[in-house]
Amino acid sequence: MAYDARNLSALCYANGFTLWHYRTEDTAAEVDNSGYFNDASRMLREGDFILVNAGLGTAPQSGVMVVVANSGGVVDVSNITVFGSVNTD
């Protein structure tokens, strides 16, 4: 699949930093590919955090990605830092 602007939401903004939320059926590996968020390049800034719910419907994975580069309309985010992945019950 591909980036879907309807699934990217700003949660809060302060001092030039934005915390975003993004949900998708795409895997986390697909989302962290350089260029995935290019259509959002005018909104995303280096250092912004994106809380990600990826792999919905197949292999859900939740975590945070950081915008590490945004130059010339090309956005690159870090690999996902997973949280909430262990459920022992």
Domain boundaries, the chain: 5-82
> Distance (Å, rounded) from C-alpha 48 to C-alpha 45?
6
pTM: 0.92
Question: Amino acid identity of 6?
Answer: R
Per-residue pLDDT reduced to its tens digit, 46-62: 999 999 999 998 888 99
Using DSSP's 3-state secondary structure scheme, residue 59 falls into coil
Q: What are phi and psi of 64, to 5 degrees?
A: -125, 140
Q: Which residues are within 8 A (CB) of 85 and not within 5 positions of it... i.e. 6 or more apart?
A: 61, 62, 63
Per-residue pLDDT, averaged over 49-77, amounts to 95
Per-residue pLDDT reduced to its tens digit, 7-32: 999 999 999 999 999 999 999 999 99
